[in-house]
Amino acid sequence: MDIVKGIRFISLICFLHSLSTTGGHVHYDYVGDFVHYLLKSVMSSPKINPLYPQSERIVEKSTHDFIVVGAGPTGSVIANRLTEIPNWSVLLLESGEEAHIISDVPFLCGAMEFTDYNWGYKSEPQQGFCRGCTGGRMELPSGNVLGGSSIINYMIYVRGNRVDYDRWAAKGNPGWSFDEVFPYFLKFEDAHISRSDEEYHHKGGFLTVSDVPYRTKAAKAYVKAAQEAGHAYTDYNGAQQLGVSYVQGTLRDGGRCSSEKAFLRPIRNRRNVKIQTGSRVEKILIDPQTKRAYGVKYSRRGRIHYAFARKEVIVTAGPLNSPQLLMLSGIGPQEHLQDLDIPVIQNLPVGITMYDHATYPGIVFRLNDSISFNDLATSLSNPSFYLEYMGGKGPITSLGGVEVMTYIRTNVSMDPEPSYPDMELFMIGGSINTDFGVIYRKIFNIPSEIYDKIWRPLEGQYVYSVLPMLVHPKSKGYIKLKSKNPYDAPKFFANYLSDPDNIDVKTFIAAIREVQKINANPAMQKYGSTLVDTPLPGCENEMFNTDRYWECCLRTLIGSLYHQVATCKMGPKSDPEAVVDPRLKVYGIKGLRVAGISVIPHPVTAHTVGPAYMIGEKAADIIKEDWKHEIRIMN
């Protein structure tokens, strides 16, 4: 971090600190809007020595061997690996711009969702969930920046379970079993984990994965309490996922390690790669007669440009934008495209399936000792915190407060595999009130009347919270275009908690009971840890802590972890929901692949950035193998 950037960073912290301590209390709507304005102003300031100046040299019509659409984790890996072949040229197009240095600060990750680095998508209002959310809608963050969602996520690194990948392969997708994908996880990893199964990790890869340097006393007490409740300490990226452990993050020296930093920055001066920001792809160019993709049409600063691909177009625009781009290009459900007057080139079930990981933010425990994050002022008023951060340590390295992961198998699970979790519990050394409702409240679209009732009375108090995440939902949603205008956001129907047997709700409630069981153990009771029992507005008519009460809560406030999968689902040709084959080729279209978490056929026991990197590594090898005859000729 150079001196100018350091001064900017500290200036921002001072602004936040002054806001958080004004009069001892804050009006969160006013302060929140001001903070968002401040962040936007800082990040939109002119770049000092931009890392990708070549992005400004635009040719209206250019030709390349490969065009990669989207510079998130998967696209960044593919661009890196394909340009290892010196005679191959790659154009990487990204709709967003370079990220500001502020995005490196782990503690501020939640704030990144309220900048131009996020597309700002929301789910459509539906009955059955989010009844108490503002407008009945959930936030669906998605990265619109060089580095994609790895710039705005919480940096939580989880590969997933062996069963996830073995079942992926068993569904007719050869090459995607755990034993076949595991080497790719190892390939990109540079691990710095203190308590790990060493044979499951690797040093020397592009992506740094490490322990979080800072841990609250509450996190340490929670880990001990979970062990007292029967959960073994484990490396959840090792031999056994079930159990409790401190979170592993994509951190380098205490700062965010994004896909841009890990995979693009090292290759930005390669002569055979062009990394172009601010380039919004509007359409894949496909010959309707031969059904071959031969390029893309994109806009940049008000001008239309065309880029042509000698070999392939590879769509890595994420689980929300990849299906949108396919449908805008004439690849999708025939009836839907015809309704929007989009010429149909290939009738495929794009967007008809969308799974996601849901979480509930309302399980909060009050503590009688200063062992957690107290409030934003406490975290930002100590000058030593900034000095610690400059050295890669201290509270500011926290992943937005996320500290501990517990993978459990509830008594609701009917899965025949005993080692397969059905819930993840992630412990936060604070709660929605920790920042006075400035950011966290808005992440979950919690209206002021609910915040004022539940969280405002907790401001300035010591609390911790546990958020259960449903890792294998039975409910599934879908995506539709709003119009054929590429600048209209798609319509996202999440369909949470809609499975006819109510298994998703029952699994959530079983997880809430396990959280209470963990909290009841001596390690937490030492600090008088007590469940906050203020009834959630809208659920006052249900008896507190009954199953009916918790179901009401789940249907009132719920959020997305933005882990959508299967929107461009991988599967054999016999799968009626499949869009791409096991080699990532779009069915019926030559020269076009889709890569990224959009192809994953079912929800995995992971935070999806890890699988996104793995898919990038495997995709690059698949592409090299498919063009190996040419590589041999060049050599």
User: In sequence order, what are the beta bridge partners of 91?
Assistant: 67, 274
Tell me which residue has tokens 């350091």: 6
Of the residues 100, 201, 472, 607, only one is catalytic, namely: 607
4: exposed, middle or buried (Cβ count in 10 Å: 0-12, 13-18, 19+)? exposed
The number of beta carbons lying within 10 Å of the beta carbon of residue 408 is: 25
**Would you say 105 is a known binding-site residue?**
no
Alpha carbon of 388 to those of 252, 373, 385: distances in Å? 14, 16, 5
**Quick check: is 607 catalytic?**
yes
Q: Return all residues near 374 (Cβ < 8 A) that are at least 6 apart.
A: 434, 460, 461, 462
DSSP conformation class of 68: E
Q: What is the rounded CA–CA span in Å between residue 375 and residue 368?
A: 15
DSSP string, 176-202: -SHHHHHHHHHHHEEEE-SS--GGG--
Of the residues 231, 336, 563, 629, only one is catalytic, namely: 563
User: In sequence order, what are the beta bridge partners of 492?
Assistant: 123, 479
**Would you say 145 is a known binding-site residue?**
yes
Q: What is the rounded CA–CA span in Å between residue 349 and residue 334?
A: 9
Query: Nearest 5°: phi and psi at 223?
Result: -60, -45
Q: What is the rounded CA–CA span in Å between residue 22 and residue 28?
A: 12
**Quick check: is 36 catalytic?**
no
Alpha carbon of 492 to those of 110, 133, 458, 476: distances in Å? 22, 16, 34, 11
Q: Return all residues near 398 (Cβ < 8 A) that are at least 6 apart.
A: 106, 107, 212, 214, 373, 429
List, in sequence order, the alpha helices (H) in 158-263. 162-170, 178-188, 217-228, 259
Q: Could you list the active site residues?
A: 563, 607
Annotated binding site for FAD: 145, 281
